[in-house]
Amino acid sequence: MAASGPGTSSGAEGGGGVAGRRGLLLGLAVSVVAVGAVVWWASRQPAPRFPTSFEDIAPAVLALALYAVATCLRAERWGVLVRDQGGDPERADLYALTAVGFAGNTVLPARGGDAFRVVLGAPRMRIAHRPLIGTLLAERLLDVAVLATLFVVLGATIAGGRGMPKGSSLLVIAGVVLVLLVLAAVALQVLVRRGLWDKVKAFVGPMLGATTNLRGRHGAMMLGLSALIWGLEGVIWTIVGAAVDLGFGPLDGFYVLALGSMFALIPSGPGYAGTVDAATIIGVKAVGGASSAAVSYLILVRFIVFVPITVVGLAVGALRYGGLRRLRTAAA
């Protein structure tokens, strides 16, 4: 998940200040409310049951192995994007910093792991900070394109539209999008009239290079690789259902994954606390899963997707990159 999950920006350059603190507080507040709601709901369900037999443990072990493969593919995809922007990364750094970034995004608010990847990766990959930030933005765009497609297609088919916005919710979403477009147009006009547009383009341009290059054969290859990554993730979320006897069909886990990733776009605390959990429960119920198994599924999928890579990322960050002290020195 965007993990990568399923935020869409990197905070390695600029930002912060009052707006950043307000955003952080908003995310934490959302997580507190969502976690409280999930805990309240879970407390009213039967005690969770975890795999004990070989038949149940085997799918969980397979899910862990597939997640390792998906993580390696993410690192390879990042390497292609970095090289496209003129960088020269070593495969060891791509793999290590991918794990470090996931760990940082899990334990820190505001996708702090992305800052780790940029600050620690730029000197090692011989690339400037802003183009490297651009590769992370391109990753997010590719992920959102695949996940949004999954969400819409599977939500309208196997879930029968449950879990998707309807009626007044659609009108609210459309209104918000329209307002944002109008504000963007007004902001552009103001920048042009004040003669600031060229400066903005000069600053933002390097961060958009990786995204604007997503066309032709290169763009198709990146989109295909992204679809493969999320295909593996969908298989993981599906076979975890088998480990807790949830009775998932072949695509049910894909829908729950896509719904969780959409909820991950909502500002929240570290590890998408509360938002992804609520989405997972909603998704399980939407595809006909039993409430008695939903809590077990949520805990196990959380463990597989977040715990191992966080432990590995924190260990690699400390041993290979010097941990938080090295990050503060590099950012100074």
Tens digits of per-residue pLDDT, 121-156? 999 999 999 999 999 999 999 999 999 898 888 877
Coil, strand or helix: which one is 51? Answer: coil
One-letter amino acid of 66: L
Instruction: Tell how far CA 288 is from the center of its chain.
Output: 25
Enter the pTM of the model.
Answer: 0.82
Q: Which of 171, 98, 167 is nearest to 135 (CA)?
A: 98
What are the backbone angles phi and psi of residue 38, rounded to the nearest 5°? -65, -45
Residue 290, classified by CB atoms within 10 Å of its CB into exposed (0-12), middle (13-18) or buried (19+), is: middle
Q: Which two three-digit tokens encode residue 315?
A: 């260990």
Question: H/E element holding 122?
Answer: helix 112-125
Match 């390792």 to its residue by tokens. Answer: 68
Residue 225, classified by CB atoms within 10 Å of its CB into exposed (0-12), middle (13-18) or buried (19+), is: middle
Contact status, residue 65 vs residue 311, Cβ threshold 8 Å: no
| Per-residue pLDDT, 160 | 65
Match 């969908």 to its residue by tokens. Answer: 234
How many CA atoms, within 13 angstroms, populate the side-chain half-sphere of residue 318? Answer: 6
Predicted confidence (pLDDT) per residue in 255-299, tens digit: 999 988 888 877 777 888 888 899 899 888 888 888 878 889 999
| Contacts of residue 116, Cβ cutoff 8 Å, sequence gap at least 6 | 97, 100, 101, 104, 317, 321, 327
| Per-residue pLDDT, 34 | 82
Distance CA 111, CA 104 (A): 7
pLDDT in tens, the chain (332 residues): 644 444 333 444 444 455 566 667 777 787 888 888 888 888 788 777 777 777 778 888 999 999 999 999 999 999 999 999 999 999 999 999 999 999 988 888 767 889 889 999 999 999 999 999 999 999 999 999 999 898 888 877 776 666 566 656 656 766 777 887 888 788 878 877 877 777 776 778 788 889 999 999 999 999 999 999 999 999 999 999 888 888 888 788 999 999 888 888 777 778 888 888 998 998 888 888 888 788 899 999 999 999 999 999 999 988 888 866 665 565 45
Distance CA 294, CA 40 (A): 14
Q: At what angle do helices 91-107 and 112-125 cross, to 10 degrees?
A: 160
How many CA atoms, within 13 angstroms, populate the side-chain half-sphere of residue 97? Answer: 28
Distance CA 244, CA 170 (A): 34
Match 């298989």 to its residue by tokens. Answer: 235
Check residue 46 and report its DSSP letter: P
What are the backbone angles phi and psi of residue 5, rounded to the nearest 5°? -20, 175
Q: How many residues does the chain have?
A: 332
